[in-house]
Amino acid sequence: MDFAVINRLLSSPPQRSIGVAGDFCTDVYWDLEPKAGEVSLETGLLTTPVTAARYSPGGAGNIITNLRGLGVNHIPCFGAVGADPFGFWLYHELTAGTPEYSGYLLPIARETYHTPVYCKPLLNGVEQSRIDLGNTPLTEDETGKLLDGLAEMLPDLKVLIVNEQIANGIHTASFRAGFAGLVRKYCGRVRFVFDGRDHLDAYPGGDA
């Protein structure tokens, strides 16, 4: 995408016309205080207390945060969240104030699915080895529901930002095939912007 297009979009971002599809994650920051640890009676091991915990939307959720910072307050979201505490927090954070779009964040209740979470322990302000939760692809049925939601909303969008954050996220082979068809159908009417790590050539007609 050239700078003229970027400047035009950022100067007066259209409300309700920019959507985000992708891997919605939760970023978790834990401030560790090892000196306050105590020996666990159950394991005999020293605990690592967390003195503060902070949460923020990650992956495609970070794009939502940035768009809101530019003044876009009504953003259709297309992705999935699990029935776990991190998923509940993320769902509320992304849909607060925009309930008309909440249905496109597909809630997945199966036990084998967990919201993608990046847990980042901080020791004296320095990030330690990250702990990741959730790396589970969608099923064919879940993929179909997500594609149906995209197909329903695409005629009302001017821009769709497509995020691909994790290897086993929404971008399964089935999703890529179905979404590539939607890109071909709406290319020219909707500008597709792809922000990803893999599958860079999966959606011809979009801007990488």
Question: Residue 47 above 50 pLDDT?
Answer: yes
Mean pLDDT score across all residues of the chain:
86
CATH topology for 3-25+58-116+135-196?
UDP-N-acetylmuramoyl-L-alanine:D-glutamate ligase (3.40.1190)
40 neighbors 65 (Cβ within 8 angstroms): no
Dist CA 116 CA 108 (whole Å):
12
In whole angstroms, what is the distance from residue 142 CA to residue 190 CA?
A: 24
pLDDT digits (tens, 9 = 90+) for 118-131: 999 999 999 999 99
pLDDT digits (tens, 9 = 90+) for 94-120: 887 554 444 588 889 998 999 999 999
Q: pLDDT value at position 102?
A: 44
**Is the per-residue pLDDT at 73 higher than 90?**
no
Res 12: pLDDT = 62
Q: Which distant-in-sequence residues (6+ apart) come within 8 Å of 25 by Cβ? A: 57, 58, 59, 60, 61, 90, 115, 116, 117, 118, 134, 165, 166
User: What residues are paired with 20 via a beta bridge?
Assistant: 77, 161
